[in-house]
Structure 1
Amino acid sequence: MSERSPWHPTPRRLADAFLAALAPVAACVLALGGLTAWTGAGRAGSPARITVSNARVLLPYGDSTETAAFFDITNAGGANDRLVRVTSSRADGEVTLSRHRGTGSGAAAKTDVDSAVVLAGRVLTMAPHGLDVNLRAGARWRAGDLVPFTLHFERGGAVEVLAVVIRPSATAG
């Protein structure tokens, strides 16, 4: 029976052990630093916090009942949300989201969209030459009237707001 010699650390063995431990320790330090910065910025576990302001709807022109509404949507939370639907008890028929883009020849093209992302910590501003809400007025409106809308968000639920009816020349955008 032969006797085994006790294990002795050699410089080579110590270097190998150090290198093997370095990668996981570095990854943990990096992850901890990132999580600390995220938490310190107030974003950790913060859901979307949606508020709607500057709600306005254009006064339909002439005998037409077609019009558009615009909102400023603020997400003060730490997670993105998505506007998925808009409804109004004063609209006649379907209310849709659409985006207007220039065609390059001075004209604009309208495309219906299913939803609109509201980024965390940002404001989504609707405008006539961008994202808007299309609807048909359900009754004769006058400038200054208030029209109720409900904006439905994927995570934030429903937000009710009153939009003021304005003349088309009063909108920026």
Structure 2
Amino acid sequence: MTGQHPWRPSRRRLTDALLAALAPVAVCSVALGGLTTWVGAGEAGSPARIDVTAGRVFLPYGDSTETAAFFTVSNSGGADDRLVAVTSTAVGGDIALSGHRMTPSGAAYKDRVASATVPAGGELSMAPHGVDVTLRAGSGWHAGELVPFTLHFERSGRIRTVAVVVRPGEPGS
């Protein structure tokens, strides 16, 4: 093979090849930088971190045994969670998550809810005019007594806590 020159790329071909290789490298670098920032901020794949505080249960009035319990549920994690059930060894009968609704005429009524969302970085603050836990009080409860509860979450599992028995209308109730 005498007389043939070896193939040599032209300047234009080298420029086109370099640009073709540079585009995916640039896109990957930008994506990697964004993911690194997200992970560095602690938000990537951060599970729900649930904390239950301020548990209180109303002392029933008169001969009634039906009452309600309230908790503040905080989520310092990066994912939402859902409260799906509440149980207690100190409570007889049915315990349910309830929400209070208003009729068009202005009357209030309670309605069972299947679950309550605890948003990422937020909280679920139970109250008499919102979401609460309806139950039948144990016999002989007194103000100041501690009642054990277990809150069941979709992702975080079970969290045991206590609620203090309070009289409705008193400070902290």
TM-score of the two chains, using structure 2 as the length reference: 0.82
Structure-2 change in CA distance of 1:106 and 1:16 (3 Å): farther
Is 2:72 the counterpart of 1:54? Answer: no
Q: Which runs of 5+ in 1 are unaligned?
A: none
Q: How does 1:84-163 map to 2 (within 5 A)?
A: 84-163=84-163
Contact 1:149 1:163 in 2 (8 A): yes
Runs of 4+ in 1 over 4 A off after TM superposition: 10-13
Where does residue 68 of structure 1 map in the other structure?
Answer: 68
Structure-2 change in CA distance of 1:73 and 1:10 (3 Å): same
CA RMSD in angstroms, aligned pairs only: 2.8
Where does residue 167 of structure 1 map in the other structure?
Answer: 167
Determine which structure has more spread, i.e. the larger CA radius of gyration.
2
Structure-2 change in CA distance of 1:26 and 1:140 (3 Å): farther
- The whole-number CA distance in structure 2 between the counterparts of 1:112 and 1:10 is 74
Give the secondary-structure state (helix, strand or coil) at the position aligned to 2:69. strand
Q: Which runs of 5+ in 2 are unaligned?
A: none
Is 2:37 the counterpart of 1:37? Answer: yes
Structure-2 change in CA distance of 1:20 and 1:91 (3 Å): same
- The whole-number CA distance in structure 2 between the counterparts of 1:40 and 1:7 is 47
- The whole-number CA distance in structure 2 between the counterparts of 1:85 and 1:103 is 26
Q: Which moved more, 1:67-76 or 1:104-113?
A: 104-113
TM-score of the two chains, using structure 1 as the length reference: 0.82
Amino acid at match of 1:96: A
**Superposed displacement of residue 116, structure 1:** 1.6
**Superposed displacement of residue 12, structure 1:** 8.1
**Superposed displacement of residue 93, structure 1:** 0.9
Percent identity reads 58
